[in-house]
Amino acid sequence: MGFSTSLQGQSSHEALLARQDAEIKLLETMRRCLTIKVKSDREYATTISSLTMQGKKIERNEDLVGSLVVQSWRDIMDSIDQTAKLIKQQADSIEAIVVEHITTLYSERRRARKIYQEEQTWLNNQFQQLTDDVARKKLEYQKNLEMYKLMRSRFEEHYVKSGRVGRKLDEVREKYQKACRKLHLTHNEYVLLLGAVTECEHDLRTCYLPSLLHRQQAIHQEFITSWKTILQDIVKYSDFTTDKFQEIHRRMQKAVDSVKPVEEYRDFIGKHRTRPASPIRFIFDENLVDDTSGKLLPNKLTVDNLTIDWLRNRLTELETSLKATQQNRQNPQYPSENNSDSKISILDYSREREELRLRCQEKRLQRQVDVIRAALNELGCEELPLGYDLSMESSFTDSPSISKKNTVADIGLFTLRRNQRFMTIFRSPFKSLPLINDTKDGTIRSSSEGPTSKADNTLQVAFRGISHLTTNQKGNGNGDLMEEEWFHGVLPREEVVRLLVTEGDFLVRETTRNDECQIVLSVCWDGHKHFIVQTTPEGHYRFEGPTFPSIQELIRHQWLSGLPVTSRSGAILKTPILRERWELNNDDVILLEKIGRGNFGDVYKAQLKTCKTEVAVKTCKVTLPDEQKRKFLQEGRILKQYDHPNIVKLIGICVQKQPIMIVMELVPGGSLLTYLRKNASTITQQEQLRMCKDAAAGMRYLESKYCIHRDLAARNCLVGYESIVKISDFGMSREEEEYIVSDGMKQIPIKWTAPEALNFGKYTSLCDVWSYGILMWEIFSKGGNPYSGMSNSQAREKIDAGYRMPAPENTPDEIYRLMLRCWEYEPEKRPHFDQIFTVVETLSQAYL
């Protein structure tokens, strides 16, 4: 966790500036206080020295010759005088060394903040400039489009009025063709600009911004190292020889040693953490080409006699510029680096900015060169006869000569559509698509290392055996679909969206609509798109293209061909998302007997078929809506990342088919509440303390993971072997430092919930502390009902008025005091679980 990955958002940037301001203020305070300390110590030393001089002037000295008291007094005065000199020496050292270092650090800190703010401003300006360039070109496109429409309208009007000949018709035709040419040129410039700014934005966001933040973190940590040295000097020059000063010194040294530059910003980063900067999307506005009768297509160069010369000249210009840029990158002219001042060097971003500029320029030029070369080569423009008007629309081609021209145009465009590789480039001219080939042994491998390529083993797992579908699975339909790693069964739509994060990610799942089971292809593409697999009368499968006898063959064809799933969506399959390791097959779980009921369905004792292990299984009713199924799976998603002896363990989830199931370890003792009530007569105080300790240990672990349980109670704890207590039932949990409820209070356990959560819907770990206090009360009352005899509303009113439950019988005084601390009305006054565990552990050992 660092600056470059966690502080890319605007709010993080503002928080970092605020942090720098606060540190600068702290340096000012330290300098002011130390200056006052130096003055005070010098005055004190002077006063002590004067005192010792007075003390050495003994009246009637001759009468006291040989007195041991007089010698002792003189030794004491000498010692006090030496103490004064030591204090003065230390005051001088603090002024000459510590105050000077703080002044230097203060100046450097202000300079670093200024440079960081300038770099952030420059970066924001770059993003804005890219967006403005696209907007200006789009506006130009719209103006030329309006002119094109006007000239076309006039041409149609004169064509109808004057027939096919006439001087006026020729003039109008010439203006129409001129407007058409200008529109096509603007179209091409718009297409090229989109590709270029996409590359620039990507480099700014993925290279320059992380580099800026990474170097800022290094600068901050270096400042902390210097700061630590200053603090050590303060301790050094405040070290006196008495026992009292030595104790003070030890405490100060301990505080200084706790300063660790690497960990200084851990809490800061966690608090202000934001998602990585989202890419700026540059998308061709398809409304611009609606009135061009299909002549101009989104993200595709228009190659005809109106644009060929321009494209050839443009290609020459681009190749010349590209060569010059490549030479500049190979022989960069950087100023000599000043190694004598590492801080100045680390603050100098000129080299990175120049390298970014050249790399961005080279990619921009190279991409435009590649697109134009591909268009010219595939169309065969070098051999195209002059005079053929490829731009003239078919509605005005009645004469034989125009028909001939149109024929040539159709042949050229047919060549473009027929060539699959060229159309793939046109579909996505701004991204590198991997070329995926089948090897002789049937293994699917990637022939490039582009941004969407995956390792060979991933591709082998994702499509294992698909290359042999024609011999192994013909006619099998979707019978073997569950064997495919990219098939996620009945995983709810919300969970699918969580898995598909990168453009081109896809998976296949099953859903039910109108009591009919349907297979759905889900793709991350301009958001998330979901395509129902269509079934033909012959029992084959398709989307828009050809049919296939099995869904596996259909998905393989769609993935390897690089064709859009539908022409309207444009969605292309790039990366199959495999089932997560904790997704189990429903058939691997054998339900044995029903042992309870949950909020979403029944709970069973079950057995894993593979290893015969007994487990507990929560099921979700088939009839529940997807939103409820998502909430059901939330418990599994939270539990999968936790591993603690006092937290119930997740084994996996089953989403291959209905019903959806969560598989957990089987805790044989059942709920803690039932256990307390059944064994009320035999439970000892030592056992009760151990139960509190187990629950505190589990909650301390959850608090360290920023997990708010929200439903901690004896009914939601389980008793395992040797009476160990495990926290369970995470259906209401949230993985956040703070959570605000916005969907009402329907399922809130009123008598276990903290006042701020009930009154304002605000949950933190300190709300769980309140609930833990109620849990302790349940344990020591051996399963009693909290606020017995009161309704929920009465309990709320009394709590707000200051009422707290009395201690159950035989509760240790220390435990009841801890309960009352957990029930403090103000959350910040309650102890954290780390403190609670320490108290309970100490008491548990004391009662052994």
The C-alpha atoms of residue 774 and residue 767 are separated, in whole angstroms, by 11
Q: What is the pLDDT of residue 738?
A: 58
Alpha-carbon Rg of the chain, whole angstroms?
38
- The answer on whether 450 is annotated among ligand-binding residues is no
Helix residue ranges, H only, 163-238: 167-203, 209-236
- The answer on whether 595 is annotated among ligand-binding residues is yes
Whether the Cβ atoms of residue 490 and residue 511 lie closer than 8 Å to each other: yes
What residues are annotated to the active site? Answer: 711
The C-alpha atoms of residue 87 and residue 83 are separated, in whole angstroms, by 6
Nearest to 281 by CA among 339, 194, 346, 352: 194
- The answer on whether 75 is annotated among ligand-binding residues is no
Q: What is the pLDDT of residue 242?
A: 61
Residue 710: left (phi > 0), alpha (psi -120 to 50), or beta? left
Measured torsion, CA atoms of residues 587, 588, 594, 600, in degrees rounded to the nearest 10: -70
Query: DSSP readout, 624-636?
Result: S-HHHHHHHHHHH
The C-alpha atoms of residue 698 and residue 833 are separated, in whole angstroms, by 9
Q: Which fold has domain 3-57+67-271?
A: Substrate Binding Domain Of Dnak; Chain:A; Domain 2 (1.20.1270)
For the chain, helix, strand, coil in percent to 5 are 55, 10, 35
H-helix or E-strand containing 542?
A: strand 541-542
**Burial of residue 71, with CB atoms counted within 10 A of its CB: 0-12 exposed, 13-18 middle, 19 or more buried:** exposed
H-helix or E-strand containing 507?
A: strand 505-513
Q: What is the pLDDT of residue 449?
A: 34
How many C-beta atoms lie closer than 10 Å to residue 125's C-beta? 11
The C-alpha atoms of residue 486 and residue 598 are separated, in whole angstroms, by 30
The C-alpha atoms of residue 185 and residue 582 are separated, in whole angstroms, by 54
The C-alpha atoms of residue 86 and residue 328 are separated, in whole angstroms, by 63
- The answer on whether 601 is annotated among ligand-binding residues is yes
Rounded to 10°, the helix 765-780/833-846 angle is 20
Whether domain 672-848 has CATH 1.10.510.10:
yes
Q: What is the pLDDT of residue 610?
A: 79
Q: What is the pLDDT of residue 429?
A: 33
- The answer on whether 599 is annotated among ligand-binding residues is yes
How many C-beta atoms lie closer than 10 Å to residue 684's C-beta? 9
Residue ranges of the chain whose pLDDT lies below 50 = 337, 340, 381-478, 742-746
Domain ranges of the chain: 3-57+67-271, 299-427, 436-579, 672-848
The C-alpha atoms of residue 799 and residue 754 are separated, in whole angstroms, by 10
Whether the Cβ atoms of residue 589 and residue 654 lie closer than 8 Å to each other: yes
Q: What is the pLDDT of residue 438?
A: 37
- Written in H, E and C, the secondary structure of 390-406 is CCCCHHHCCCHHHHHHH
**pTM, two decimal places:** 0.40
H-helix or E-strand containing 612?
A: none
Q: Which two tokens stand for residue 367?
A: 């991409």
Nearest to 521 by CA among 476, 459, 571: 571
Whether the Cβ atoms of residue 726 and residue 646 lie closer than 8 Å to each other: yes
Whether the Cβ atoms of residue 394 and residue 406 lie closer than 8 Å to each other: yes
Within 13 A of 523's CA, how many CA atoms are on the CB side?
Answer: 22
Within 13 A of 597's CA, how many CA atoms are on the CB side?
Answer: 1
Q: What is the pLDDT of residue 642?
A: 82
Pick the CATH number of 436-579 from 3.40.640.10, 3.30.1300.10, 3.30.505.10, 3.40.50.410: 3.30.505.10
What are the distances in angstroms from CA 667 to CA 550, 605, 752?
43, 10, 24
Measured torsion, CA atoms of residues 497, 502, 504, 509, in degrees rounded to the nearest 10: -20
Measured torsion, CA atoms of residues 481, 483, 489, 494, in degrees rounded to the nearest 10: -110
| Shared fold status for 436-579 and 672-848 | no
- Written in H, E and C, the secondary structure of 455-477 is CHHHHHHHCCCHHHHHHHCCCCC
Q: What is the pLDDT of residue 808?
A: 95
The C-alpha atoms of residue 186 and residue 822 are separated, in whole angstroms, by 70
Rounded to 10°, the helix 100-162/167-203 angle is 160
Termini Cα distance of the chain: 43
Within 13 A of 561's CA, how many CA atoms are on the CB side?
Answer: 14
Distance of CA 665 to the CA centre of its chain: 30
- The answer on whether 55 is annotated among ligand-binding residues is no
- The answer on whether 603 is annotated among ligand-binding residues is yes
Query: DSSP readout, 391-451?
Result: TS-GGG--SHHHHHHHHHHHHHHHHHHH-HHHHHHHHSTTSPPPPEEE-TTS-EEES---T
Whether the Cβ atoms of residue 32 and residue 88 lie closer than 8 Å to each other: no
